[in-house]
């Protein structure tokens, strides 16, 4: 009887995290409106979902080849990669790479201290290589003197300051585009890229006629949705819990990246910590006695969620983690902690599914199809390492996009290889364009010769 009362009280606190199918459909409809606003020529500045044109006009067709140097600025590491694309064997090889950890003082210092500011940021590209404006730092970065600046130019200046080599920048892409392109080389039906890791974002191939901010009606262009900002205009206020509001208030960027803070790896652990602390204050956990660790922001790491939800070893992992946090726990406490982790991660997966379903449904409708078969290239530690996340996300997508057959393909080093593929595709298209121009020129010359012969 006591356990039943405890369970009911715990469930009451967790209820706001449980989103019905109808609520998820409602969230999807709100995102669809924001995406349309973001694509508009005159409305995009009011959109919280920025829908940035990437000027990537095609996905790989398998004929790309060449050697490329890729620079990848991620959430915790900076990497330099040499990538070789082999057409004959239809595969991408990462020849070699160097990884450098990014110290906290660099992440929060001045832009000049970061010698090579590059991808994995929110970028507005005016062309594939000429200019890329950093709109906003994400993933815990907050370097001064970079937002609003052209990072392609900053990169060139940083290379010039070194003075020991000369490299020309061909393409600047973010990790979602890289993921889509790297997976697109393996599966040419891949037209969506999604990241669910430290942060979250997605891109997809949109019809050019709908991209009002860029001239042209023909073909398609990859759009970087920047869906992490969904809800920044307050449209998700009814979905936010008191714990989400606390996470936002104490973050380094209050009021922005609302959607990202509800579902990505940088914040999930903190949401769980706040829930556990609330239940402890209500004397529903740990005999009402929080430890110093539980009271410390950031102490409950997101990886703990994955470990606690492991099917076979989860309960034992929960006991070890609670001990590590200096909590006076019993078996019921460990079970409740596991329930909290499952509830928070489940909401993350279902919200992400609602957003992804919005994209696949849009592609289907854009193309006037009764049924769409497509592939999503996906990357990120939450998707890769959480034991239940991918299954729950895919199940929810099937419910929210019933007319779409969606395959998920995990990216192999999407940020690095994908950046190389963007460049390789750009080179292929440029070559095709030159060949077409040469062919048109030859046709015109032949027509002139025929006219001349006729006159003679």
φ, ψ of residue 85 to 5 degrees: the values are -105, 120
Tokens of 326: 């200096």
Cβ atoms 139, 75 nearer than 8 A: yes
CA distance linking residue 163 with residue 156, whole number of Å:
11
What 3-state class would DSSP assign to 92?
Answer: strand
Which helix (H) or strand (E) element contains residue 310?
A: none
Q: Give per-residue burial for 388-403: e unless 16+ CB within 10 Å, then b.
A: ebbebbbebbeebbee
CA distance linking residue 114 with residue 121, whole number of Å:
14
Cβ atoms 32, 358 nearer than 8 A: yes
Cβ atoms 195, 176 nearer than 8 A: yes
Whole-Å CA distances, 17 to 238, 275, 285, 302, 389: 11, 11, 19, 17, 15
φ, ψ of residue 172 to 5 degrees: the values are -120, 120
Cβ atoms 92, 83 nearer than 8 A: yes
Helix axes 2-14, 331-366, angle to 10 degrees: 30
Query: What residues are annotated to the active site?
Result: 139, 175
User: Per 3-state DSSP, what percentage of the chain is helix, strand, and coil (rounded to 5)?
Assistant: 50, 15, 35
CA distance linking residue 175 with residue 165, whole number of Å:
26
Query: Residue 234: left if φ>0, alpha if ψ -120 to 50, beta else—which one?
Result: left
Burial grade of 340 (CB within 10 A; 0-12, 13-18, 19 or more) = buried
Whole-Å CA distances, 341 to 1, 247, 266, 350, 396: 24, 16, 15, 14, 19
């Amino acid at each position: 009887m006591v356990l039943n009362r405890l369970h009911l009280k715990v469930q009451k606190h967790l209820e706001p995290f449980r989103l019905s199918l109808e609520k998820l459909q409602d969230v999807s409809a709100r995102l669809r409106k924001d995406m349309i606003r973001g694509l508009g020529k005159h409305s995009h500045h009011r959109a919280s979902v920025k829908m940035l044109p990437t000027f990537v006009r095609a996905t790989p067709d398998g004929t790309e080849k060449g050697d490329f140097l890729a620079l990848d600025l991620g959430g915790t590491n900076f990497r330099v990669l040499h990538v070789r694309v082999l057409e004959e064997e239809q595969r991408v090889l990462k020849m070699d790479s160097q990884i450098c950890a990014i110290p906290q003082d660099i992440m929060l210092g001045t832009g000049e201290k970061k010698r090579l500011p590059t991808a994995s940021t929110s970028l507005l590209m005016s062309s594939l290589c000429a200019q890329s404006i950093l709109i906003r730092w994400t993933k815990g970065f907050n370097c001064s003197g970079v937002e609003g600046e052209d990072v392609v130019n900053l990169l060139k200046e940083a290379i010039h300051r070194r003075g020991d080599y000369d490299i020309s920048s061909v393409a600047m892409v973010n990790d979602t585009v890289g993921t889509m392109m790297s997976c697109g080389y393996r599966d040419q039906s891949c037209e969506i890229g999604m990241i669910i890791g430290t942060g979250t974002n997605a891109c997809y191939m949109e019809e050019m006629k709908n991209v009002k901010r860029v001239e042209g009606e023909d073909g398609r262009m990859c759009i970087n949705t920047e869906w992490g900002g969904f809800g920044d205009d307050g449209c998700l206020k009814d979905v936010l819990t008191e714990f989400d509001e606390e996470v936002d208030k104490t973050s380094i960027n209050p009021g922005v990246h609302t959607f990202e803070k509800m579902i990505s790896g940088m914040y999930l652990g903190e949401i769980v910590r706040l829930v556990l602390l609330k239940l402890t204050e209500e004397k529903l956990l740990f005999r009402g006695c929080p430890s110093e660790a539980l009271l410390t922001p950031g102490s409950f790491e997101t990886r703990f969620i994955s470990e606690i939800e492991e099917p076979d070893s989860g309960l034992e992992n929960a006991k070890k983690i609670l001990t590590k946090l200096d909590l006076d726990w019993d078996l019921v406490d460990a079970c409740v902690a596991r329930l909290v982790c499952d509830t928070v991660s489940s909401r993350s997966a279902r919200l992400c599914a609602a957003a992804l379903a919005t994209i696949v449904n849009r592609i289907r409708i854009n193309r006037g199809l009764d049924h769409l078969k497509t592939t999503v290239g996906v990357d990120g530690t939450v998707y890769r390492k959480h034991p239940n996340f991918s299954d729950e996300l895919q199940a929810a997508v099937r419910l929210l996009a019933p007319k779409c057959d969606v395959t998920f393909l995990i990216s192999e080093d999407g940020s690095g290889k994908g950046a190389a593929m963007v460049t390789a595709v750009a080179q292929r298209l440029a070559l095709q364009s030159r060949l077409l121009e040469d062919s048109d020129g030859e046709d015109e010359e032949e027509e002139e010769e025929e006219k001349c012969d006729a006159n003679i």
